[in-house]
Amino acid sequence: MKKMLAIVGLVLIALPALCKDFSIHQVMGKEPRQVDAAIGKPLSIGERGAFREYGTKRSGWYVRFAGGKSVLATVTFRTAFAKPEAALEAIDLKVGKLKPVKTMLLSRRWEKLEGLKSVTVRSLDGKRWDTIEIEK
C-alpha cells in the first residue's frame, strides 16, 4: 500500500511538468526562425510571412508577426483543461495571485502577465478550457 501511495505521489508531483507543451516565452517577441526552432516547421506561412501555423503533439498554433517579431499567438489544445490556470501552465505561464481583469462564463483575461500585454483563455462550455490567445 505504501508503494502505491508513493507512486501516486510521484505522478502528482510530475503532472504539471508532463502537462507543459513548452514556454510561451520561446515564441512571443521572437523572429520567425526562432519561433520555428521552438515549435517546429510551420504547416503554412501567410502572405509575406504575416502569420505561420504550427502543430505540436498536444496543440495547434497560429502566430502573427509584425515588424519581424511575433506579436500575437493563439494556442488550441487537443485536450482541454479543467481550469484556465491549468491551460496557462501548459505554456509555462503562472498567474500566481494576479486576478483576471475580465471574467466571463466562456473566457478569462489577464493583463500584464509575465511581461505580456494580455492573455485570454477560452472555453466552449465554461467547464473545459482549450484555447489561449496571447498578445505581446
Q: What is the pLDDT of residues 50-88, one digit of tens each?
A: 999 999 999 999 999 999 999 999 999 999 999 999 999
C-alpha cell at 2: 505504501
Q: What percent of the chain has pLDDT over 90?
A: 84
Q: Match 501567410 to its residue by C-alpha cell.
A: 46
Measured distance CA(104)–CA(45) in Å, rounded: 33
Q: Are 104 and 121 in contact (CB under 8 A)?
A: no
> What local confidence, expressed as pLDDT, does residue 1 receive?
56
Q: Are 31 and 136 in contact (CB under 8 A)?
A: no
pTM (predicted TM-score):
0.84
